[in-house]
């Protein structure tokens, strides 16, 4: 058998106009695609490494309860690890100082509305119209914690296992399955969050002592690429690998 014919027969015929481009140009395109794919993945991995700092002692003027330090949030952050949302806050004092204190996280999954709007109390008004949310996580260190989907009627309430809630000194951490916060239009990277403590011994919204952040929301830290970025990364890697194989000398 003719050697040239034997070598051609070993390789499947490829009738692609793509292969008519100069090899250097194809390799450069592959490098660009690979770099773009990895850049998008990295960008998504670190969407917003947000640690919200909140001034100490900034109790709402509408709050009519005692200014105890565990009702004063000094920092807040939310992390998505691919399976769970991890809600973490640090208060100015030890959690549990106020037995009736509980902590509400508002989550905007895409259809958030200003459900708190204007709060009036203590002779003052507080504008919370930019605190948008369509679900809540209520953390009760001395009771039952719950997730509520406010877009169902009546709201769907899910009880959270006590093992998912940890209070250590001034820090309060809740690990909640992301499945309890199904999207209402946003990707996980677009979800908005806000935290406000409450004193259950006081009725109405005048029981809210603080907002973190003030009259706004923040994004979670995403520690894994979101699913919609993975195909681009895989495609870019595959194209780069295939072209490298084509450039390698044929043996055997």
What are 70-127's pLDDT values in tens digits?
A: 999 999 999 999 999 999 999 999 999 999 999 999 999 999 999 999 999 999 999 9
> By percentage, how much of the chain surpasses pLDDT 70?
69
What are 176-225's pLDDT values in tens digits?
A: 999 999 999 999 999 999 999 999 999 999 999 999 999 999 999 999 75
Q: For residue 2, what are its two tokens?
A: 């003719």
What pLDDT score was predicted for residue 46? Answer: 39
Whether 40 shows a pLDDT value over 50: the answer reads no
Whether 42 shows a pLDDT value over 80: the answer reads no
Whether 234 shows a pLDDT value over 50: the answer reads yes
What are 205-219's pLDDT values in tens digits?
A: 999 999 999 999 999
Domains, in order of start, for the chain:
53-226 (2.60.40)
Average pLDDT over residues 134-157: 96
What pLDDT score was predicted for residue 242? Answer: 55
What pLDDT score was predicted for residue 43? Answer: 42
Give the pLDDT band of residue 7 (cuts 50, 70, 90): very low
| CA distance linking residue 226 with residue 139, whole number of Å | 27
**What phi, psi does 224 have (nearest 5°)?**
-135, 150
Average pLDDT over residues 137-149: 96
Average pLDDT over residues 18-40: 55
Whether 61 shows a pLDDT value over 90: the answer reads yes
The residue with tokens 């692609």 is 16
Beta bridge partners of 176: 85
Give the pLDDT band of residue 47 (cuts 50, 70, 90): very low
Whether 157 shows a pLDDT value over 70: the answer reads yes
What pLDDT score was predicted for residue 224? Answer: 73
Output b/e per residue, 159-196; b: 16+ Cβ within 10 A: ebeeebbebeebebbbbbeeebbeebebebbebbbbbb
Give the pLDDT band of residue 6 (cuts 50, 70, 90): very low
| CA distance linking residue 52 with residue 215, whole number of Å | 13
What pLDDT score was predicted for residue 238? Answer: 61
69's CB contacts (< 8 A; 6+ apart) are 91, 92, 93, 94, 97
């Amino acid at each position: 058998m003719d050697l040239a014919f034997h070598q051609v027969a070993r390789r499947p015929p490829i009738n692609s106009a793509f292969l008519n481009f100069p090899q250097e140009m194809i390799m450069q395109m592959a490098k660009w695609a690979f770099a773009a794919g990895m850049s998008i993945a990295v960008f998504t991995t670190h969407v917003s490494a947000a640690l919200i700092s909140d001034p100490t002692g900034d109790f709402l003027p509408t709050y009519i309860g005692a200014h105890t330090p565990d009702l004063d949030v000094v920092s807040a952050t939310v992390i998505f690890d691919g399976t769970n949302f991890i809600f973490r806050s640090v208060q100015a004092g030890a959690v549990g100082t106020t037995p009736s204190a509980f902590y509400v996280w508002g989550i905007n999954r895409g259809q958030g509305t200003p459900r708190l709007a204007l709060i009036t109390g203590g002779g003052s008004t507080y504008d919370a119209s930019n605190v948008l949310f369509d679900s809540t996580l209520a953390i009760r260190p001395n009771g039952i914690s719950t997730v509520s989907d406010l877009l169902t009627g009546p709201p769907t309430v899910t009880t959270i296992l006590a093992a998912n809630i940890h209070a250590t000194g001034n820090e309060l951490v809740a690990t909640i399955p992301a499945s309890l916060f199904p999207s209402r239009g946003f990707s996980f990277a677009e979800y908005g969050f806000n935290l406000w403590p409450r004193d259950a011994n006081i009725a109405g919204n005048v029981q809210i002592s603080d907002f973190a952040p003030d009259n706004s929301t923040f994004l979670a830290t995403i520690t894994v690429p979101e699913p919609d970025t993975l195909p681009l990364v895989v495609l870019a890697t595959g194209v780069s690998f295939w072209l490298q194989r084509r450039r390698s000398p044929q043996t055997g």
